[in-house]
Amino acid sequence: MKITKKKLDDMYRSYCASYITIGGETCALIASEEEGYPCYMYSGKDFEKRETVWEKGGGCMSIIPIPNKENEFLAIVDFYLKVSPSKAKVVWGKYDSETGWEIKDVLYLPYLHRFDIYDVDGVNYFVGATIADDKDFKDDWSRSGSIYYGVLPEDPTESVELKVLGKGYFRNHGYYKDYEGDKPVGYFTSDQGIIKVTPFADKEWEIEQILDTPIGEVALFDIDSDGEKEMITIEPFHGDSIKIYKKTESGYEAVYEYPHKIDFAHTLVGTTLRGVPSFVGGIRRENCDLFYIQYVDGEFKTEIVDKGCGPSNIMVVNEADRDIIVAANHTGNEAAVYIVED
């Protein structure tokens, strides 16, 4: 397997990594968390074409394409831990090949940090988590965060009526979307552990406690191909430990721990790399690794893809002849992609 890095741009405090498919082509979306900094879209076979999504935005935590829509996304902008009261809001982006991106406000939700859009029986639902419901200053963690959901209207700029799904989650930071059959499910992480959210179209949504130890991030994938998904975690919030858990009759049991020194681990994805089940992750400090883990010959093997880059977030896109790791390299202050080929 060959992995080639392509630096796309210098980007100060690069934070959000996502993608959208336009005209059958994968377009990388990478944005900064710093106030007054840009979000760019990169397209073309080698991502050589750059278009501006916004030039002077910032505070971008997540960008999520809207299911069953063409060329549209929702994004969190203006999220700044150091700003109180919070200015965090959701915006709607719509792309036109002639005029580019149009951005409009959707809703204001203080300290909204992670969100997603679930297609449940043809209805799009917004589900999101606040890292805290309020703060007096950046390192004030005395208040818990909450999880919200609501129907996303056809025109996202119309009112989105949110309901509180759960509350009391301190450092409500991490999130991962998975599927059970064709139904989306969400995993939210906090000092209270891992909360699994299951949506329903005809009744109340369910919340289930998966782990009760402090967790910063989580991802799931059947990495050893035994028919049961393993779970990888960063522990605790912005933590110094990465573990893989297997599900047993008595619960989840840790079976692997990342072997290298960690400081400020931040992002995890469960995916395949050229068809091989893999966990891909990033660490922002110390060696600032981008790495992947695979199960080979009966044991977990860890490979370092890049050092000194320090990804805040990554996204993996599986294409027919290659895979793409879209990376917001926070420590390296760069937007990058990694091309994975046979």
Taking only the tens place, the pLDDT of each residue in 220-257 is 999 999 999 999 999 999 999 999 999 988 889 999 99
What CA–CA distance (Å, rounded) separates 20 from 27? 5
Q: Length of the chain, please?
A: 342
Q: What's the mean pLDDT in 306-335?
A: 97
DSSP SS3 for 311:
strand
Compute the mean pLDDT over every residue in the chain, rounded to the nearest whole number.
96
In this structure, the number of other CB atoms found within 10 A of the CB of residue 144 comes to 20
Q: Is the dihedral angle over the CA atoms 117, 119, 125, 131 positive or is it negative?
A: negative
Q: Are 234 and 240 in contact (CB under 8 A)?
A: no
- Look at residues 170, 5, 158, 181 and name the one whose alpha carbon lies nearest to residue 92: 158
The predicted-structure confidence for 12-56, as pLDDT tens digits, reads as follows: 999 999 999 999 999 999 999 999 999 999 999 999 999 999 999
Please state the pTM of the whole predicted model. 0.96
Which residue type sits at 277?
Answer: P
The angle subtended at Cα 341 by Cα 335 and Cα 342, nearest 5°, is 160
Closest CA to 59 of 20, 117, 8, 109: 109
* Encoded tokens for 27: 């377009």
Taking the CA of residue 112 as centre, how many other CA atoms within 13 Å lie in the half-sphere pointing to its CB? 26
Transcribe 26-52 into DSSP letters: EEEEEEESSTT--EEEEESTTS-EEEE
Written out in words, the top-level CATH class of the domain with range 2-341 is: mainly beta
Angle CA 52–55–56, to nearest 5 = 160
pLDDT digits 0-9 by tens, 121-158: 999 999 999 999 999 999 999 999 999 999 999 999 99
Q: Note whether 218 and 265 are within 8 A (CB).
A: no
Q: What are the phi and psi torsion angles at 224 (to 5°)?
A: -105, 10
Encode pLDDT of 167-213 as tens digits: 999 999 999 999 999 999 999 999 999 999 999 877 889 999 999 99
Looking at residue 93, its pLDDT comes to: 97
Q: Burial of 150 by CB count in 10 Å (0-12 exposed, 13-18 middle, 19+ buried)?
A: middle
81: tokens are 């831990």
Q: CA 149, CA 197: separation in Å to the nearest integer?
A: 10
